[in-house]
Amino acid sequence: MLALVTGAAGFIGSHLVDRLLADGHEVIGVDDLSSGGTVRPGLELWEMDVGDPALAERAAARRPEVVCHLAAQVSVRASVADPAADARTNVLGTVNVLEAARAADARKVVFTSSCAVYGVPDALPVPPDAELRPASPYAASKVSGEVYAATYKALYGIDYTTLTLANVYGPRQTPEGEAGVISIFTDALLAGRPTRVYGDGSHTRDYVYVLDVVDAFARAAGEGGGGLRLNVGTGVQTTDRELHTLVAEAAGAPDDPEFAPPRLGDLPAMSVDPRATREALGWAPGTGLREGLAETVAWARERMAPA
Ligand SMILES: NC(=O)c1ccc[n+]([C@@H]2O[C@H](COP(=O)([O-])OP(=O)(O)OC[C@H]3O[C@@H](n4cnc5c(N)ncnc54)[C@H](O)[C@@H]3O)[C@@H](O)[C@H]2O)c1
């Protein structure tokens, strides 16, 4: 199969490229290298903006069967500061990628959403059919991208699956990402710098390992999960304080964070229910947090080591 992966040089996209190539597929990547810079061996990279109208023409010439759309403006804070710029990449960019899928006569689009779309939910873990309550322009743009994907299915019969990702972590993540807290703690603890927990440390997140996430994408690129929103997370909540302890343990560093006032707009708790994803795709998060953190810290240690 020929797959087109947008955001292919990013944290998650670069792992997805590895996975698809290892499965024997051909992969074209689309990335403007604005935040990602990991171009994997064997990848045919089209260095361009996802909003570039030339994308449809190029896709029509190569006719990828599946389009995995991961390129995005990924920062909630940046989306609040400049909602129009966020929408240009995440809404108009997504429409342009869907146009490219149409021009290529693609079978399926796998759209990348975020658990931010659930806002402050009524209950945890959030099921995928919970009410959507976007509380940032970033979350609104992800809701919108999913609605457009559904529209293209209705209009043109291009199938889609929306994968709603919890907080993804693992090797190649940089501290700027949506779930940057693990890389921030890791880098600081390995370098012996102080670490900071905002609030009293009781906020929770659902941490899912990047290789498990790309396994969900590889499965969604098949026949299953058509027309569905599926959660990609563990259903487990980890508090900020617990997370610090686990990263410190993995890094062999003291577990002694500073505490700072809570940050405005931070959601108090999140975890997503992955049971429907298991039913639709046979997917389950196989990597425990301790195991995933050990891999992540080992990667960061190697990266920081003098050459
Ligand atoms: N990391 C997480 O925890 C997380 C959680 C939920 C959802 N997501 C979503 O997963 C996807 C991948 O995120 P990531 O963590 O790998 O981030 P990332 O920043 O590492 O990857 C995004 C990639 O998209 C590229 N890009 C950005 N704007 C572009 C544009 N206009 N045209 C072409 N390429 C562009 C960047 O250069 C980068 O390589 C995003 O859609 C993000 O919203 C991530």
Residue 267 has what pLDDT?
87
Is there a single domain that holds both residue 262 and residue 161?
no
Predicted TM-score (pTM) of the model is 0.97
In angstroms, what CA-CA distances link 70 with 92, 145, 266?
14, 11, 23
- Catalytic residue at 138? yes
- Which domain, by its residues, includes 26? 2-167+207-232
Is there a single domain that holds both residue 66 and residue 198?
no
In angstroms, what CA-CA distances link 87 with 75, 139, 142?
12, 10, 9
Q: Flag whether pLDDT at 178 surpasses 60.
A: no
Mean pLDDT across 230-241: 98
Q: Using alpha carbons only, give the angle 121, 125, 129 rounded to the nearest 5 degrees.
A: 65
Q: Using alpha carbons only, give the angle 73, 34, 98 rounded to the nearest 5 degrees.
A: 55
CATH number, domain at 94?
Answer: 3.40.50.720
Is there a single domain that holds both residue 255 and residue 187?
yes
> Separation of 77 CA from ligand 1 center, angstroms?
14
Is there a single domain that holds both residue 146 and residue 57?
yes
SS3 for 162? strand
Mean pLDDT across 157-166: 98
Tell which atom from ligand 1 comes closest to the C-alpha of 112: 41
> Separation of 107 CA from ligand 1 center, angstroms?
23
Residue 177 has what pLDDT?
54
pLDDT digits 0-9 by tens, 105-141 = 999 999 999 999 999 999 999 999 999 999 999 999 9
Torsion of CA 244, 248, 253, 259, to 10 degrees: 0
pLDDT digits 0-9 by tens, 187-204 = 999 999 999 999 999 999
Total domains in the fold of the chain: 2
Mutation test residue for ligand 1: of 4, 70, 214, 232, the one with most atoms within 8 Å of CB: 70
Is there a single domain that holds both residue 224 and residue 281?
no
> Separation of 129 CA from ligand 1 center, angstroms?
24
Residue closest by Cα to atom 31 of ligand 1: 49
d(CA 205, CA 272): 9
Backbone angles phi, psi at 203, to 5 degrees: -60, 145
